[in-house]
Amino acid sequence: MAPRRWLLLLFLAAGVLQSLAQPDSRGFISIDCGLAEEASYVDDTTTLAYISDAGFTDAGMNYNISAEYLGFSRRGHNLRSFPDGVRNCYTLRSLVSGLKYLIRAGFLYGNYDGLNRPPASFDLHIGVNFWKTVNMSTWGADQGNTATVEAIIVVPNDLLQVCLVNTGSGTPFISSLDLRPLKRTFYPQATAEQGLVMLARLNAAPVNKTGTIRYPDDPHDRLWYPWFDATIWAEISTTERVYGVGDDLFEVPWKVMQTAIVTRNTSKNIWFGWESLDAEPRDDDPSRPGYVAILHFAELQLLNASNGELRQFYINLNDELAYPTGFTPEHLVSNAIYDTKPSRHSGYNFSINATANSTLPPILNAVEVYYVIPSTNLGTDSQDGNSSDL
Ligand SMILES: *[C@@H]1O[C@H](CO)[C@@H](O)[C@H](O)[C@H]1NC(C)=O
Ligand SMILES: *[C@@H]1O[C@H](CO)[C@@H](O)[C@H](O)[C@H]1NC(C)=O
Ligand SMILES: *[C@@H]1O[C@H](CO)[C@@H](O)[C@H](O)[C@H]1NC(C)=O
Ligand SMILES: *[C@@H]1O[C@H](CO)[C@@H](O)[C@H](O)[C@H]1NC(C)=O
Ligand SMILES: *[C@@H]1O[C@H](CO)[C@@H](O)[C@H](O)[C@H]1NC(C)=O
Ligand SMILES: *[C@@H]1O[C@H](CO)[C@@H](O)[C@H](O)[C@H]1NC(C)=O
Ligand SMILES: *[C@@H]1O[C@H](CO)[C@@H](O)[C@H](O)[C@H]1NC(C)=O
Ligand SMILES: *[C@@H]1O[C@H](CO)[C@@H](O)[C@H](O)[C@H]1NC(C)=O
Ligand SMILES: *[C@@H]1O[C@H](CO)[C@@H](O)[C@H](O)[C@H]1NC(C)=O
């Protein structure tokens, strides 16, 4: 793991309606799948213009969801379903070859077919590379019954295909598809050979406990989900702006960095963890998905060093130091400690504990976890292919 300093650059731009299947002025493509051809609208919360998917795919049929599910975001109100063919694709054009992009697909079944039976699962591919199996039953009412699947990839050509693959467990459908350009330097773990699939992107101790932070607070329109547990952690926050200096690889929005969890007692650990997606018990098995974690820190309190005040902590993964020394976040400066290479374990338990000299409890402002997928052949136009063995 390595620390990085960074500079936060915010840019804001007004939503402009698009008439063509082209990225907008920010390079964003925002598709509301199943929207009538030529239709578009400006989303209230993000101010982004969403357009119909008619210019991106020839296959499938449009449906509206049932009225009882209409409470969720407008993007979920309609969808495109693909009853015919094994593999149906969206083609996103006019991309910048070699640039890193965030790509996100949303799925809200909403009983669109009147059968009250969501598909058990179907697969998503990026080009011919397996992206993820979409299993609607793992996304419950607490996520608005909406499955959200996200990846960060380097796009090798000026076009990219996102494909829905029928695996015999129900009819694939899709509600929304977003493409957002990132900076080339961002997420160095994403390379031409390896993409990142999001497992978690968490905003610790948010002011709004139900609000997800995204565009315009995040100029790159990542989704930062609320994460807190008042029974375990205390919360600290600042109204001052949190900056980064230098060469920033993540540009976490300051609204995310302004809040953090701390332990109630300096002697206690902050910890979080997850199980590997596969069930095999052997560590370092190359067929096991590799994970990378990115921990974001900024000091939010003004400490009096001459009074001996110090916040310093170790970051451990499965009881071993993940970063070689104690770490002290700088006041109102955002910094990240992150895996440069994926690691492969059956389970992951990160713990953050105060060093012996620390007078203040450990802190955590935000965390991201991804697993890696091969991303060769992303740009190929070829039809059916086998998924990778991730
Ligand atoms: C979905 O609803 C919209 C607005 O109510 C309507 O214009 C459209 O024709 C409907 N689409 C389908 C496929 O039923
Ligand atoms: C979908 O998820 C459910 C609940 O986690 C699981 O029981 C089921 O086996 C999964 N289905 C597929 C096809 O993966
Ligand atoms: C918190 O977020 C929810 C969901 O986005 C939103 O409806 C609500 O207005 C927000 N509350 C405040 C105080 O901003
Ligand atoms: C913090 O934890 C230590 C060790 O468990 C305990 O001795 C101490 O009383 C605790 N302090 C507070 C303020 O709870
Ligand atoms: C910091 O601590 C020193 C020593 O206790 C004290 O003299 C000084 O007033 C403190 N400064 C602030 C800003 O609290
Ligand atoms: C912090 O946690 C690590 C790993 O669990 C442990 O080896 C170390 O002794 C702890 N340090 C302190 C100061 O508690
Ligand atoms: C993770 O590690 C922390 C601190 O070492 C421990 O308190 C916690 O129980 C562990 N969690 C799991 C699921 O092993
Ligand atoms: C703790 O503080 C002492 C005295 O300032 C110093 O010698 C020691 O290196 C510090 N330990 C750590 C782990 O920073
Ligand atoms: C997929 O892999 C299987 C087994 O390796 C092979 O039989 C099949 O022909 C492959 N299909 C395609 C489309 O490459």
- CA–centroid distance, 210 to ligand 4, in Å, is 32
Per residue in 55-100, pLDDT (tens digit) is 999 999 999 999 988 877 888 999 999 999 999 999 999 999 999 9
- CA–centroid distance, 363 to ligand 6, in Å, is 15
Kindly tell me the sign of the dihedral angle through the C-alpha atoms of 122, 370, 51, 385. negative
Which ligand has the minimum distance to the alpha carbon of residue 87? 9
Distance CA 23, CA 30 (A): 8
- CA–centroid distance, 356 to ligand 6, in Å, is 9
pLDDT of 269: 96
Q: Which atom belonging to ligand 1 lies closest to the Cα atom of 61?
A: 13
325 lines ligand 8 (CB under 6 A): no
As a three-state string, the secondary structure of 305-332 is HHHCCCCCEEEEECCEECCCCCECCCEC
Give the length of the chain. 390
Q: Are 219 and 10 in contact (CB under 8 A)?
A: yes
Per residue in 121-132, pLDDT (tens digit) is 999 999 988 999
As a three-state string, the secondary structure of 40-108 is EEECCCCCCEEEECCCCCCCCEEEECCHHHCCCCHHHCEEEECCCCCEEEEEECCCCCCCEEEEEEEEE
Q: Whose CA is nearest to atom 4 of ligand 8?
A: 357
Q: Whose CA is nearest to atom 10 of ligand 7?
A: 349
Task: State the average pLDDT over residues 347-366.
Answer: 97
pLDDT of 107: 95
Per residue in 6-47, pLDDT (tens digit) is 322 222 223 333 345 778 889 999 999 999 998 999 998 899
The domains of the chain, with CATH numbers, are: 2-182 (2.60.120.430), 197-374 (2.60.120)
> 214: which DSSP letter?
-
> 213: which DSSP letter?
B
355 lines ligand 8 (CB under 6 A): yes
